Structures are given as C-alpha cells and as structure tokens.
C-alpha cells in the first residue's frame, strides 16, 4: 500500500511534501512563522483516508489469515477426534466397531485427500501468480529423501500385507486387500506432491488449500495412531505359536493361521520387519505438510532470503569423523550379531548385554560432546537469528516432541526395573541405559536448538570480505598458487569453529547408527521380555509402538539439525 513502500506514495513522501509547503509558507509570511508553535507542522497521517484504508486492508488480510487457519485447524481437530473415537472403540469393543470399520473410514479420508492433492497439482498450483515465493528453508533434501525412503518401504509393506491377506482369503475380509491398495495409491501421490511442492508459498485459494492440507495432516495422524495401536499381525503370530503347541499336545484347532509355505512366511516376516517404516512415513509427512500450511499466503521479502547460503564441506574436521566412523563400524558389527542371535527361537542373554553395553559407552560420549558444544555457543559472539522462520520453529517443536517418545519409554522401563530386580546384571544395564538416554536427549536438544538460532559465520564475514575485494583481486595470483589442502583449511579455523564442527560431525554419525539399529529390526525393548512381563503384552506393545517410531524419527530429525549446526559453523 501507499503508506508502506516506495518513495512516492509513502509516508516519507507525504511528510516531505508537507514540510516543503511549511517552509514555503514561512518564507511568505515571516512574522507569522515565528509565532506558530513547533508542533503545528506535525502531520497526523492517521487522519488521511488513504492511510486508514491501507491499514484496514492489511488488518483485514491478517484477520482473514487467522480465520482461515482457525477454521482449517478446527476441521483437522474434528477429523482426528472422530478417527480416534473409532480406533478407541475398536480397541475396547471389538464387536461394535471392527478393524474393517476403521479401514473404511480411513479409506474415505484418503480418497478425499487424493482428490484435493490432484486438484492442487492440476489446478491451484498452475494458476497465474499462484506460487510467487518459495521457502528456501522448507523441505530440505534430507527430509524429502526421507519421504521417498519411508514411502518406498511403506509401499512394500502394503504389498506384503496384500499378499498375506490373499493367501488367507478364505478367512480374511476383502477390505484387507482394498485398504492396502488405496494406501499404495495415497503414498505415491502424496510423496510426489511433497517432493515437488513442499517449498510452495501458495497465494491463491488460501482457505481451500489450508483445509486440504489440514485434512491430509489429520489423515496421516490417524494412520499413525492406527499403526501404533493395531497389533493384529502380532497377535496372529502369537496365536499361531499357541496352535503349534496345542497340536503337539494333541488338541486340533481351526483358526486363520499362515500355512506352512515359504511365500506366506516371507510375507509375514516382511510385514513385521517393515512395520515401523509406515509410522515414520506418517510422521515425516505431517511435519512437511504443517510447514506448507504455515506458508499458505506467506510473502517472503528480499531481506529474508539469504544472499550467501553456506554449503556442506568436509574441510576442517578430523577427530569427529574418525570417532564417529569408529562408532558406526562397531555399531554395525553389534547390530549384525544381535540380529543373528535375536532371530533365533531363544535369544541369548549375552546378546542383550552386548547391545546395552554399546549404548552405555556411546551415550555418555554424545552427552559430553553436546554439553561442550553448548558451552562454546555461550562463549562465542555470534548474534541470534531473530527472523521469522516457520521451518525452524517446527524443527524445535519436533525435536522436543519426538524426544518424548524415547524419554517416555525410558521412564516406563525404569519403573518396571526398579520394581522387579534392579541388581540383576541385565536389569542394571537397562536401567543405566534408560537414565543415560534421557540425559543424552536433553543435552543434544539444547545443543541443536541453540545452534539453529545462531547466525552463520559466513554471513558475519561477508561484509569484511566485500570491503577487501580490491586487495583480494590484487593478490589473486598468490591465492591461486596457494595450497587448498585439507590441513591448510583445518589450521585456519578458530578453535571454537573447529570444536563445533568436530562435535557436530561426531553427533551426526552417532545419530545415524542409532537410527539404523532400531529402524532395521533391533528392538530389544520388546524382545528382552522384562518390561513385557511387567506391563503385559498389549500394554507394552502400545508403549513400544508409540515410543519407538518417535525415537527413530528423533534420530533422523537430529541428523538434519546437526548438519545445519555444522554448516553454519
């Protein structure tokens, strides 16, 4: 509007015109100017119609934005409550509400989301002036790659579920084949949509786009909630084991169990192995969709766009990669030995001792590194980045929220172990592991969040480099002849920057191995049997399925945050 931008049509232009007129009148009538009070030349711009009109337009635009966000949020809240009521009724009353009823509701929601996504791809995004701005912080390559990775595994999971249900079609409902088929189509369409449009700041059809995004977020949340609470396949495996025992005892039973064929066993084992990936996919999609929802109608000014974007370079780090690589190699060896032993009929107790001992050694090192990094952040003189950044705000919320999964599981384990026998070797190891994991999550969150709110070193040094541009050109020949070797780059970093980069890179590699181990099948919290016998199978299953995917998501999200800290250092 005229009151905010441009030399003409701005408050500055009005003030300049009125001031010049005041001086002109003062020159014509000299004695009157001396008797005029100083404050009569002050122009009250709020009295102008144009100023009041522009302010009212801006205020109404903000009110419309808040109203659209409120309405779409209420829509998502009602959908989540409705789906949660269905899922809760299925858990507590299997007769009135069955799993098929929940699948039908979720299938309807997924079809509605598919219709909106297709409309956005073919209609909304192709309108003139639809996407004038793109958020450079939203949808980084690692989060979009995670969408594709987890989406691919989720598709394979649904393929295994279709194959498993097709083999047992005589005792399975047709909904158990239709639901995974719709899920595959939903995953493919949503992954394509997020890969290409996660950075959009849409400027048309605000309310409809907000409602579509919130409906998709609510659908993903309900899919995640169903995956956390649905233990059908695991209960079928337990019933199959009981049936085998009854057959040996001479009691024949007729139940819906997997026949003794290789294909059925592959579908069953593949489904169990890929089960956590579906929950991860839902959580990642919710985070990306929320950023898109915040960016609807957002106008990014030029000073919000960074002129120099720091790039990832491996120069200047030595000890962090070495220690991190050692942690990754040792972790992979322990993971392989654990998988070989745990897949047997009776896992060896020594395997659990070895697994938890690795964590007890690694977690204190990570905690000490995070504490040292936080102290360095307090000592350095980098300014805080106070610009509005929805992506960074979401990163902080996700780090704090995802850490609650592991912290909650640890407290449940602590209560169970203290109440049983904490002096046992394995119990004491699990108890120490739980306490150290809580401390490590807290210290790492503080380090990452503090680092994300710091200005990068590149931005601070850009002005000094531009002032010395002439001298640098004069020394161009010597610079081209100078060595750009690894040791040269390492020696020219300050000790604070060295320490931050070493710590960040070490924590990145540690979080990668701590992400790999539970993601690809190492679940000692459910397989050691201690907490399961204390809380019961169903209760501990829900606790693990709630905390374990959040823990995996936390490790993956921590890698992205630590890479940001490494780059800005």
Q: What pTM was estimated for this model as a whole?
A: 0.70
Q: What is the pLDDT of residue 360?
A: 94
Kindly list the distances between the CA atom of residue 289 and the CA atoms of 147, 215, 391, 484, in Å, as whole numbers in the listed order. 11, 10, 11, 42
- Which among 201, 505, 451, 486 has a CA at the least distance from the CA of 328? 505
**Burial class, 150, CB count within 10 angstroms (exposed 0-12 / middle 13-18 / buried 19+):** buried
Contact between 160 and 271 under an 8 Å Cβ cutoff? The reply is: yes
CA 460/CA 466 separation, integer angstroms: 11
Q: What is the pLDDT of residue 440?
A: 93
CA 522/CA 516 separation, integer angstroms: 9
Q: What is the mean pLDDT of each run of 10 residues along the chain (569 residues)?
A: 43 41 44 47 50 57 79 92 90 78 92 94 86 76 85 91 83 82 94 90 86 94 85 57 52 59 79 79 88 82 52 68 91 87 68 89 93 85 65 79 88 89 83 93 90 61 42 51 47 70 90 85 74 81 80 84 82
Q: Is 392 left (phi over 0), alpha (psi -120 to 50) or beta?
A: alpha
* Strand ranges, E, within 249-370: none
**Nearest 5 degrees, angle CA 349-CA 354-CA 356?**
95
CA 214/CA 216 separation, integer angstroms: 5
């Amino acid at each position: 509007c005229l009151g905010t931008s441009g030399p003409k049509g701005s408050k500055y232009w009005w003030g300049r015109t009125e001031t010049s007129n005041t001086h002109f009148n003062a020159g014509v009538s000299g004695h009157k100017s001396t008797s005029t009070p100083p404050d009569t030349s002050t122009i009250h711009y709020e009295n102008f119609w144009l100023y009041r009109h522009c302010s009212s337009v801006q205020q109404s635009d903000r009110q419309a934005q808040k109203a659209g966000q409120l309405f779409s949020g209420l829509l998502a809240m009602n959908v989540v409550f409705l789906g949660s009521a269905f899922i809760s009724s299925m858990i507590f009353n299997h007769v009135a509400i069955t799993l098929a009823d929940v699948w039908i509701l979720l299938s309807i929601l997924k079809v509605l989301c598919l219709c909106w996504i297709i409309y956005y791809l073919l209609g909304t995004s192709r309108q003139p002036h639809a996407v004038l701005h793109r958020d450079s912080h939203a949808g980084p390559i690692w989060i979009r790659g995670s969408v594709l990775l987890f989406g691919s595994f989720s598709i394979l999971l649904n393929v295994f579920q279709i194959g498993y249900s097709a083999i047992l079609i005589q005792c399975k409902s047709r909904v158990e084949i239709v639901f995974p088929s719709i899920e595959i189509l939903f995953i493919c369409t949503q992954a394509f949509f997020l890969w290409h449009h996660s950075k959009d700041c849409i400027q048309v059809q605000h309310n409809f786009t907000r409602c579509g995004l919130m409906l998709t977020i609510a659908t993903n949340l309900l899919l995640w909630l169903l995956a956390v609470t649905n233990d059908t396949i695991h209960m079928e495996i337990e019933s199959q084991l009981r049936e085998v025992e009854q057959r040996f005892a001479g009691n024949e039973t007729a139940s819906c169990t997997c026949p003794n064929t290789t294909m059925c066993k592959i579908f069953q084992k593949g489904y169990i192995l890929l089960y956590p990936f579906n929950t991860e996919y839902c959580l990642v999609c919710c985070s990306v969709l929320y950023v898109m929802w915040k960016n609807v109608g957002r106008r990014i000014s030029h000073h919000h766009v960074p002129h120099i974007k720091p790039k990832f370079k491996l120069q200047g780090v030595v000890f962090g990669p070495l220690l991190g690589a050692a942690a990754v190699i040792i972790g992979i060896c322990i993971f392989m030995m654990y998988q070989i032993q745990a897949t047997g009929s009776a896992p060896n107790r020594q395997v659990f001792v070895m697994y938890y001992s690795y964590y007890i050694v690694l977690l204190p090192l990570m905690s000490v590194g995070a504490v040292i990094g936080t102290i360095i952040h307090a000592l350095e003189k980098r300014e805080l980045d106070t610009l509005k950044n929805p992506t960074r705000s979401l990163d902080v919320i996700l780090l704090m929220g995802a850490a609650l999964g592991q912290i909650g599981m640890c407290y449940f384990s602590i209560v169970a172990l203290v109440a049983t026998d904490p002096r046992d070797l394995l119990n004491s190891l699990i108890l120490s592991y739980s306490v150290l994991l809580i401390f490590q999550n807290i210290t790492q969150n503080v380090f990452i969040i503090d680092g994300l709110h710091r200005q990068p070193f590149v931005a601070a040094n850009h002005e000094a480099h531009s002032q010395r541009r002439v001298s640098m050109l004069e020394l161009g020949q010597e610079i081209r002849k100078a060595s750009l070797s690894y040791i040269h780059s390492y020696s020219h970093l300050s000790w604070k920057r060295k320490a931050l980069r070493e710590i960040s890179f070490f924590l990145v590699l540690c979080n990668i191995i701590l992400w790999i181990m539970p993601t690809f099948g190492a679940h000692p919290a459910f397989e050691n049997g201690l907490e399961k016998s204390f809380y019961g199978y169903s209760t501990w299953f829900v606790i693990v399925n709630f905390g374990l995917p959040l823990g995996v998501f936390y490790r993956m999200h921590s890698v992205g945050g630590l890479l940001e800290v490494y780059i800005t250092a």
